[in-house]
C-alpha cells in the first residue's frame, strides 16, 4: 500500500527528523504508517506518549482504566490539575491530539486483562508497557508474544529504572521475571515513593526504543536491560 506523502505542515513539523542522517523521509514515513499501543498513561506512559505523538506516530493507542489523581501530577506530566478525576487514557489522548493533530489517537478507557489483551494488542504493530504491576505486565507480554508483536518494557522504583525490548525469537519476559515472582516481592510506588523525573528518563528511553524499532535505526535493547541509577547518575547494562 502506497504511503501518503507528508503534507507541507508535516514537512515543517518534522524538519529536524527529515535532515537527520539515518531518519530522513523514509524514517518519517515509517513513523507515519506505524500503529503503536501504549499500555498505561501514568509515569512511564506520559513521556512515552508525549514523544511518540511529537515524533509523528500515525496511530497511537492508549490504554488505561484509571483516573487522574492529585498525587500523580509530580511525575505524570501530560495530565493537568484540571484533569483530576478524568480517565487517564482520555486525558492523555487530549494531550497527544493537542500536541500533534496529524496523529490519530485511539482511546481504550478500560483495564487490559487476559480477556481483552489479544483483541486490543492485535490492532497494533508495536506495544509499550508502562504499567506498574507484574500481573498486568505478564498479560501484556504473553499477548504480545502470542501475536508476534515487539514489546518495549520499562520499570521504575524510587530512584532507579530500567528498560528492555522483548521481540519474537529473542529472550522472553519469563527469562527476566521468573514465574514465581509476584507483586508482593516488589516495592510499591505508594509505599516507597518515586522521584518524578525518573519516570521521564525511562519513559523517554522507551519512546526512543520504539522509534528505533519502527525506523530500523540503531541497535534495540533486545536481550539487554539498560538500567539507570538516578542517585549515582549512572547507566549500566546487563544481558539475559
pLDDT at 100: 98
Specify burial of residue 89 (Cβ count, 10 A radius: 0-12, 13-18, 19+): buried
Specify burial of residue 102 (Cβ count, 10 A radius: 0-12, 13-18, 19+): middle
For residue 125, give the DSSP letter.
S
d(CA 100, CA 105) in angstroms, rounded, equals 10
Give the mean model confidence (pLDDT) for residues 79-107.
Answer: 98
Q: Which residues of 51-85 are buried (b: 16+ CB within 10 A; e: fewer)?
A: bbbebbbbbbbbbbeebbeeebeebbbbbeeebee
pLDDT at 149: 98
pLDDT at 11: 98
Q: How many CA atoms lie within 13 A of 107 on its CB side?
A: 14
pLDDT at 183: 63
Give the mean model confidence (pLDDT) for residues 80-106.
Answer: 98
Q: Domains of the chain by range and CATH?
A: 32-239 (3.40.50.720)
Q: Which of 207, 205, 204, 192 is nearest to 159 (CA)?
A: 192
- Find out whether 37 and 127 touch, Cβ atoms under 8 Å: yes
pLDDT at 90: 98
Give the mean model confidence (pLDDT) for residues 70-83.
Answer: 98
pLDDT at 187: 61
- Find out whether 71 and 191 touch, Cβ atoms under 8 Å: no
pLDDT at 34: 98
Instruction: Convert the pLDDT of each residue in 12-40 to its tens digit.
Output: 999 999 999 999 999 999 999 999 999 99
Q: How many other CB atoms are there within 10 angstroms of residue 9's CB atom? A: 10
- Find out whether 203 and 77 touch, Cβ atoms under 8 Å: no
pLDDT at 192: 83
Q: What percent of the chain has pLDDT over 70?
A: 95
Instruction: Convert the pLDDT of each residue in 196-218 to its tens digit.
Output: 999 999 999 999 999 999 999 99
Q: How many other CB atoms are there within 10 angstroms of residue 122's CB atom? A: 13
| Predicted TM-score of the model (pTM) | 0.95
pLDDT at 117: 98
pLDDT at 184: 63
* Phi, psi dihedral angles at 96 (to 5 degrees): -60, -40
- CA distances to 18, 109, 133, 190 from 47, rounded to whole Å, are 22, 19, 19, 20
Instruction: Report residue 186's pLDDT band, with 50, 70 and 90 as the boundaries.
Output: low
d(CA 25, CA 57) in angstroms, rounded, equals 14
Q: Which of 65, 67, 41 is nearest to 52 (CA)?
A: 41
pLDDT(179) > 60: yes
Instruction: Convert the pLDDT of each residue in 110-162 to its tens digit.
Output: 999 999 999 999 999 999 999 999 999 999 999 999 999 999 999 999 999 99
Contacts 24+ apart (CB under 8 A), 113-116: 113/139, 114/139
Amino acid at each position: 500500500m502506497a504511503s501518503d506523502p507528508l503534507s507541507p505542515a508535516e514537512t515543517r513539523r518534522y524538519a529536524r527528523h527529515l535532515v537527520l542522517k539515518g531518519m530522513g523521509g523514509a524514517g518519517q514515513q515509517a513513523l507515519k504508517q506505524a500503529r503503536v499501543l501504549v499500555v498505561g498513561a501514568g509515569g512511564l506512559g506520559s513521556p512515552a506518549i508525549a514523544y511518540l505523538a511529537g515524533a509523528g506516530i500515525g496511530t497511537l493507542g492508549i490504554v488505561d482504566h484509571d483516573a487522574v489523581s492529585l498525587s500523580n501530577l509530580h511525575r505524570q506530566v501530560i495530565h493537568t490539575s484540571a484533569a483530576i478525576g478524568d480517565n487517564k487514557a482520555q486525558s492523555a489522548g487530549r494531550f497527544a491530539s493537542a500536541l500533534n493533530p496529524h496523529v490519530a489517537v485511539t482511546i481504550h478507557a478500560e483495564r487490559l486483562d487476559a480477556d481483552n489483551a489479544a483483541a486490543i494488542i492485535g490492532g497494533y504493530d508495536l506495544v509499550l508497557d508502562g504499567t506498574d504491576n507484574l500481573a498486568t505486565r505478564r498479560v501484556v507480554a504473553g499477548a504480545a508474544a502470542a501475536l508476534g508483536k515487539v514489546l518495549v518494557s520499562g520499570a521504575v522504583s524510587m530512584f532507579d529504572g530500567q528498560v528492555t525490548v522483548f521481540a519474537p525469537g529473542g529472550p522472553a519476559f519469563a527469562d527476566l521475571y521468573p514465574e514465581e515472582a509476584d507483586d508482593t516481592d516488589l516495592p510499591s510506588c505508594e509505599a516507597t515513593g518515586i522521584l518524578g523525573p525518573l519516570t521521564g528518563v525511562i519513559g523517554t528511553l522507551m519512546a526512543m526504543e520504539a522509534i528505533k524499532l519502527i525506523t530500523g535505526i540503531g541497535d534495540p535493547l533486545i536481550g539487554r536491560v539498560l538500567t539507570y541509577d538516578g542517585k549515582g547518575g549512572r547507566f549500566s547494562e546487563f544481558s539475559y
